[in-house]
C-alpha cells in the first residue's frame, strides 16, 4: 500500500520502520528532516504534510500534542487540503479526546475517514513492534487499518467511535502516573527505613503489589537510569489533557492533579526531559534521601 507517515521522532521512526519492513511504500515527513537511513531503505521524503497526503492512501500521524496534530492536518501546507475521498487519516499521537472528535468531523466532511489510535509501550514497544494500540473509529474503517496497526503493535483494541481511543489513552496515563508515584513512595520509604529497596522490590514483585511499573520503573529508580523511554514533559502533557477533560466532565481527579504537581516540580528542577520514572527525584528531595540499593 501507499502509506504516509508524519512525525519521525523517538516513537514514530521505529513505527514507520515496521511498515516499511513489511514492504509498504512510505511517504515521509518530519519537522527535523527525514533520516537518510529511512530514505536509503526506500522511504520517500516529502517537504510537507500536504505532499504526503497527495501521494498516500492511509496517512499516519505521530506528533507530540493537540496543536501539532492541528497544524499537520489543517495548517499551512497541511494534509487535509490534499485529501481525496476515501483516504484515511490515522492519528497515533496522544491528544485531547474532545478535540479529536472535532478533527474527525472535519476530515469526514471531506469524504475521508479518521482513526484515533494512540499507543502505550514507549520507545521499547515502538522498536519491538509490541505497542498497545487503543482505537476510535468506524468498525469498517478499523478493519481496513487493523493489519497495518498489527505491524506496529501487539494488542490492538477498538474502543468505540472517534475520540474513544484517546479517552482510553488518557485513562492509561492516569494509571501509569499514579503507579509511578506509588512505587516511588514505597521504595523511598523502604530505603529511608534502612531496608534494601532492591530486595523489597524483589519481594513485592511476587505479591499482590506486583505491577509492570514496579518491575520496569522500579528498576530505573534503583539503578538511577533515567534516560527517557517516555519523557516527563510528554507525560505531564497527557495529565494536563486528563485534568482539562475532568473539568469539562465535572469529574474529580485529585491524585492525578498531585502527580501533575510532582511533574511540575521536575520541570522546575530542569528534569522535564528525563524518563517519567524520575518523578522519584522530587520525592527524594522532599525527604532529603536518595534511594540506594545495598547490593
Residues classed as catalytic = 169
Cell matching residue 223: 539503578
Other C-beta atoms closer than 10 Å to the C-beta of 251 total 11
Shortest CA distance to 192 belongs to which of 287, 281, 285? 287
Local structure of 157: helix, strand or coil: strand
Local structure of 136: helix, strand or coil: strand
Alpha-carbon distance of 166 to 159, in angstroms, equals 9
In order, the DSSP letters of 42-64 are T-EE-SSHHHHHHH-SEEEE--S
DSSP, res 32? T
Amino acid at each position: 500500500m501507499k502509506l504516509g507517515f508524519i512525525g519521525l521522532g523517538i516513537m514514530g521512526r521505529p513505527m514507520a520502520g515496521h511498515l516499511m519492513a513489511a514492504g509498504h511504500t512510505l511517504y515521509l515527513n518530519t519537522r527535523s528532516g527525514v533520516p537518510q537511513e529511512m530514505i536509503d531503505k526506500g522511504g520517500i521524503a516529502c517537504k510537507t504534510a500536504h505532499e504526503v497526503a497527495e501521494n498516500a492512501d492511509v496517512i499516519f500521524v505521530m506528533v507530540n500534542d493537540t496543536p501539532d496534530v492541528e497544524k499537520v492536518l489543517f495548517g499551512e501546507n497541511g494534509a487535509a487540503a490534499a485529501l481525496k475521498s476515501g483516504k484515511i487519516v490515522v492519528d497515533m499521537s496522544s491528544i485531547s479526546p474532545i478535540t479529536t472528535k472535532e478533527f474527525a468531523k472535519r476530515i469526514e466532511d471531506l469524504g475521508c475517514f479518521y482513526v484515533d489510535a494512540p499507543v502505550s509501550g514507549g520507545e521499547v514497544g515502538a522498536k519491538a513492534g509490541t505497542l498497545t494500540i487503543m482505537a476510535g473509529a468506524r468498525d469498517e474503517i478499523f478493519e481496513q487499518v487493523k493489519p497495518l496497526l498489527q505491524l506496529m503493535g501487539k494488542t490492538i483494541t477498538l474502543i468505540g467511535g472517534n475520540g474513544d481511543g484517546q479517552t482510553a489513552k488518557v485513562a492509561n496515563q492516569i494509571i501509569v502516573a499514579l503507579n509511578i508515584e506509588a512505587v516511588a513512595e514505597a521504595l523511598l520509604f523502604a530505603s529511608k527505613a534502612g531496608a534494601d529497596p532492591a530486595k523489597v522490590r524483589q519481594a513485592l514483585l511476587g505479591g499482590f503489589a506486583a505491577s509492570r511499573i514496579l518491575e520496569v520503573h522500579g528498576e530505573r529508580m534503583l539503578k538511577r537510569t533515567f534516560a527517557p523511554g517516555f519523557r516527563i514533559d510528554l507525560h505531564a502533557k497527557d495529565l494536563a489533557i486528563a485534568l482539562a477533560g475532568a473539568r469539562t466532565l465535572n469529574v474529580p481527579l485529585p491524585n492525578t492533579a498531585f502527580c501533575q504537581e510532582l511533574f511540575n516540580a521536575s520541570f522546575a528542577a530542569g528534569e522535564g526531559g528525563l524518563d517519567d520514572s524520575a518523578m522519584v527525584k522530587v520525592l527524594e528531595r522532599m525527604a532529603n534521601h536518595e534511594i540506594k540499593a545495598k547490593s
